[in-house]
Amino acid sequence: MTKENTTIGVIGLGVMGSSMARNLAKGGYRVLACSRTQSKAESLQADGIIPSSLRELASQCPVVVLSVTDGAAVEGVIFGENGIANQLQTNSLIIDTTTIAPSEAASVAARCAELGLRFLDAPVTGGDVGARNATLTIMCGGTAESFQAAQPVLQLLGKKIVHVGESGSGQMMKAVNQVAIGLGIVAMTEALLLAESRGLNPSMALDILQGGAAGSWALSNYAPRLLAGDLKPGFDAAHMLKDLKIALQAASGRCELPGLATTAALFEKLVATRSGVGNHALMEAYR
């Protein structure tokens, strides 16, 4: 697969998908892009990206990158009435960077295999900044052969690219990651709430917390935004809630995770009371 004569499709042009499309174009691929809101694709033309319909994209692209909303959207884009499965050549590779349930990913992969298509679950972590700078961590589930085939593409999107195991296991690793992130946000939130409620200076508290055994990425990166009153996503709280529900489902019947249950309930409350805020705004659920 040489870049010059390979066309890659990108479906879903949110914050993550747009950056991915740009990085693939910058990396030398011909990139067709398609989004529910087609004006998003048009706005990427200045970056050399070609707006396309699903049908056209599928007929031209041996490799398609998905970055859509959820499992239902992934299934719709692939197997729906206008889905790409109808047009893709045999042996085409679908790289799904959406976060969906591990069981959904395994099922989509099996359906793809029946149709002679390859499917790699490849959820990412590293946020908008990681997508922009191509420093994402990408957790892949699928055959070794699909993982190998995806390498030239994934190398343009991320920095740490791991083959976790069979189909669904990339999503499982992502669920594990979201458990740690969610609980890390609860740790940050409750420590700062206690400090605030007892009249301690929050900036001083943060400085002390960051320097020791309480230190975390959340404290170093989310807490300063929070203390500055900036609740804008980063990573949308509603997406976090979706991911935590996937994790709860993955844990179900395997292990009791009371911290995760508490965390999911708090994000449920946040999303019910506030919209359009980042996952670092969890403190709002405590008011």
Minimum distance from CB of 138 to its own copies (Å)? Answer: 10
Cβ–Cβ under 8 Å, residues 11 and 61: no
- Interface with its own copies, residue 188, by CB under 8 A: yes
**Interhelix angle 169-197/237-251, nearest 10 degrees:** 120
Tokens of residue 105, six digits: 């990913």
Q: Which of residues 198-217 bind its own copies (CB under 8 A)?
A: 198-200, 204-205, 207-209, 211-217
Site string for its own copies, 73-112 (x = CB under 8 A): -----------------------------x----------
Among 116, 259, 272, 275, binds its own copies (CB under 8 A): 259
- Which is catalytic among the residues 40, 160, 174, 245? 174
Contacts 24+ apart (CB under 8 A), 103-107: 103/168, 103/249, 104/71, 104/74, 104/75, 104/171, 105/71, 105/141, 105/167, 105/168, 105/170, 105/171, 106/141, 106/166, 106/167, 106/168
Q: Contacts with its own copies in 237-256 (CB under 8 A)?
A: 247, 250-251, 254-256
Backbone angles phi, psi at 160, to 5 degrees: -105, 115
Decide if residue 227 touches its own copies (CB under 8 A): no
| Distance separating alpha carbons of residues 227 and 202, to the nearest angstrom | 8
Using CB under 8 A as the binding rule, whether residue 177 contacts its own copies is answered as: yes
Neighbouring C-beta atoms of residue 58, cutoff 10 Å: 26
- Our answer to whether residue 174 is catalytic in this structure is yes
Residues engaged in binding its own copies (CB under 8 A): 102, 125-127, 130, 137, 139, 160, 162, 164-165, 169, 172-173, 175-184, 186-195, 197-200, 204-205, 207-209, 211-219, 221, 235, 247, 250-251, 254-260, 262-263, 265-266, 286
Residues annotated as part of the active site: 174
